[in-house]
Every structure is written in structure tokens, then in C-alpha cells.
Amino acid sequence: MCTGRVDMAFVLRAFRKGADGVIVGGCWLGECHYVTEGNYDALNLMHLCKRLLEHRGVNPERLRIEWISAAEGNRFAEVMNDFTEKLRELGPLGNGAEEGNGDLTAGLEEVAKLVPYIKLIKKDKLALRLDREEDYDDLYTREEIDGLFREVVSYHIDPEKCQACMICGKRCPVDGIAGGKNRIHVIDQEKCIRCGTCFEACPGRIDAVRKIIGEPVPPPLPEEGRTIVRKGAHSVRRRAAWRQTDP
């Protein structure tokens, strides 16, 4: 398999399952077997992943990318032995001094959920091909990653404006919007990849989808408060149970 197919989600899943380290091995740069130069894509992505791991308290040395051809059996053995020694030095994942803050598994799960969003936000940088391999070391800064998590974008459907037209639900690429005819739509925040498709799809005259940056998303309406009863050109929203919580 080309290293260009190695996704950050694969790496994060391995760490969430308890792996002490992950190593990605591929063809030497400039010697891609598939003529796609996917190893450059992998190199770029793994440097971003290192920063994300570091943001969540995981030593970035637990993730390594190496170039090894199929004919380099001795080099493969040397690289694996060296990586094994490094992991022994670091100790088991979660027990090292660098991983002592907070729930590591929960932190990694949070990052994993944001992978599609992060790849979308960083798509221009991820497409870069730098002249020297060492130039990738400084491509992503700690401050940049910290800011990325501070300014995470979320989307919320305003129940006062939603007309249950089902346009956003049909456009959502992950089927993350619950709704239906005469049902106020609700975005499932667990499924949402923050791509903004719903925001773009919602008709401007309705303007029901809100873009929220760095703030919590309002809780969704309860099921009993999401029905719209239409009378001619007007509609009445049944939100009795929801209104009871208002001051």
C-alpha cells in the first residue's frame, strides 16, 4: 500500500487502542512505485499528526516515518530496533512524564473526531511539496495547532428559523442532520465533520444554519418540541415542553 493512503485517523486509532508507538515505512522520496509521490503526502500529514499528538500530551517521538526500500532488509531491521529502543526509553503510552495531564484517551478521541475538519482547514498546507525533507519540521507550529483547537467551527440550526425544507439534510455528506417533513432539523454534533455544507446549502431567505466559532453549541430541541404544524401560508411550532424551560 502506498504511504500516501495512510491517514491520520489510522495513527490516532492505533494510539487510542493502546499502541506505544506507530511507525510508517515507505519508498524513498523520489522513488515512488506508483508515480504519485504519495510518500510526500504522507510526510506532510505525519508532521501535522505529530503536532496534534503533542497538543494532546503525547511525545511526538512515538510517531515516526522512515524510507525503506523492499531491498533494504538490514536497514528495516536497524530502523525497527532503534524505534523499539526509543519506545522502551519513553515507557508505555500514558505513563510517561509527558503524558500526565488529563485523560489521554479522551483527548485522542477528540482529535480523531476533528480529523476531517483539520484536513479541510489545512488542505492548502497539506498539498505543499517542499524541496527539502527537513523543511517539513517547521511547517506546523505549536501556536498554530493551539489556535486551531481554540477556534474550532461548529454549526447549529436555529429552531426559530428552520422551515424543515430538508435541503441541508439531503446535502450533508455524513448523514449528520436529523429531520424530516415538518420536523425542525437538528445537527448531530458527534457525526458532524464541520465541512460547512449545511451552512452553504441553507437558502439565504431562511438563514437557519449558524456558524459558531470557539463557543459551545446550544443544546438541541427535545423531540416533542420539533414538530411544525402548517396552516396555509403560516406555521405553528409545537414547543410547549421547550418553552417551559424559558424564564
- Could you say which of 88, 115, 150 is where a domain stops? 150
CA 70/CA 68 separation, integer angstroms: 7
Pair (128, 175) in one structural domain = no
How many domains does the chain contain in total?
2
| Average pLDDT score over residue span 182-208 | 94
The pLDDT assigned to 97 comes to 57
The pLDDT assigned to 240 comes to 40
Of 23, 22, 18, 24, the closest CA to residue 95 belongs to 18
Nearby residues of 140 by Cβ (< 8 Å), 6 or more positions away: 47, 48, 51, 122, 125
Please state, as a whole number, how many other Cβ atoms lie within 10 Å of the Cβ of residue 155.
23
Pair (72, 91) in one structural domain = yes
Task: List residues bridging with 22 in a β-sheet.
Answer: 63
Task: List residues bridging with 234 in a β-sheet.
Answer: 231
Pair (125, 227) in one structural domain = no
Quick: pLDDT tens for 128-158.
999 899 999 999 999 999 998 888 899 999 9
| Average pLDDT score over residue span 69-85 | 95
pLDDT category of residue 220 using cuts at 50, 70 and 90 = confident
Give the pTM: 0.79
Pair (236, 166) in one structural domain = yes
Quick: pLDDT tens for 110-128.
899 899 999 999 999 999 9
The pLDDT assigned to 124 comes to 96
Pair (71, 165) in one structural domain = no
Quick: pLDDT tens for 15-28.
999 999 999 999 99
Pair (160, 212) in one structural domain = yes
* Domain harbouring 192, CATH code: 3.30.70.20
pLDDT category of residue 184 using cuts at 50, 70 and 90 = very high
The Cβ-side half-sphere exposure at 117, using a 13 Å CA radius, reads 21
Pair (105, 136) in one structural domain = yes
pLDDT category of residue 241 using cuts at 50, 70 and 90 = very low
Q: What percent of the chain has pLDDT over 70?
A: 90
Residue 244 has pLDDT above 80, yes or no: no
Pair (52, 141) in one structural domain = yes
The pLDDT assigned to 102 comes to 59
Cell of 236: 405553528
- Could you say which of 118, 150, 182 is where a domain stops? 150
Pair (160, 137) in one structural domain = no
Pair (108, 158) in one structural domain = no
Supply φ then ψ for residue 153, to 5 degrees.
Answer: -90, 135
DSSP SS3 for 237: strand
- Could you say which of 107, 128, 150 is where a domain stops? 150
The pLDDT assigned to 98 comes to 56
- What is the pLDDT of the chain when averaged over all its residues? 89
Q: What percent of the chain has pLDDT over 90?
A: 71
Range of the domain at 88: 3-150
Pair (51, 129) in one structural domain = yes
Judge contact between 207 and 161, C-beta under 8 A: yes
Pair (171, 234) in one structural domain = yes
CA 57/CA 106 separation, integer angstroms: 12
pLDDT category of residue 33 using cuts at 50, 70 and 90 = confident
Residue 245 has pLDDT above 80, yes or no: no
Which H or E run contains 177?
A: strand 177-180
Poorest-pLDDT segment among 42-51, 92-101, 135-144, 171-180: 92-101
